[in-house]
Amino acid sequence: MRNKIIIVYVLIFLLLLFILSYYLLYNIYGSVIRKEPDNLYADTSSEMRLNVVPINALGFKALFRSSSASFDIVEGKDLIEIVYLNQVKGILKIRSKGKTGTIGIKIKSEHSLLPDYVEIEILPLTA
């Protein structure tokens, strides 16, 4: 009889642990835009990757999840070229055309209420 009570308590504990981990680690509560690297330079080989990362309740990347996003280049279309675009995974990779200026990108994520606006300044090369 005692073993059956222990098994019931263990099953209840595991069920609560599963529900808690689902809401804290797996569920998406927002998204963050990550830029890699931080700066874009005015040469033809400088590239930047923009990635939309879904965030869980603890503030980390949600486990096993991705966030789809649409990217709209509002300002500075003539300063960059798009190398890679994957809207399902929320990834945009751009390359500078060798001119300085400012680029404005509007990003609408699947898990955000309002679109994010990212402004990237193409820095001049210094000798």
Burial of 22: CB neighbours in 10 Å, binned 0-12, 13-18, 19+: exposed
The model's pTM is 0.82
**For the chain, first and last CA: distance in Å?**
81
CB atoms within 10 A of CB 47: 17
- pLDDT tens for 35-70 read 999 889 988 889 999 999 999 999 999 988 888 999
Domain range spanning residue 90? 2-123
CATH of the domain at 73: 2.60.40.10
Q: Which two tokens stand for residue 105?
A: 């990108």
Number of domains in the chain: 1
CB atoms within 10 A of CB 102: 11
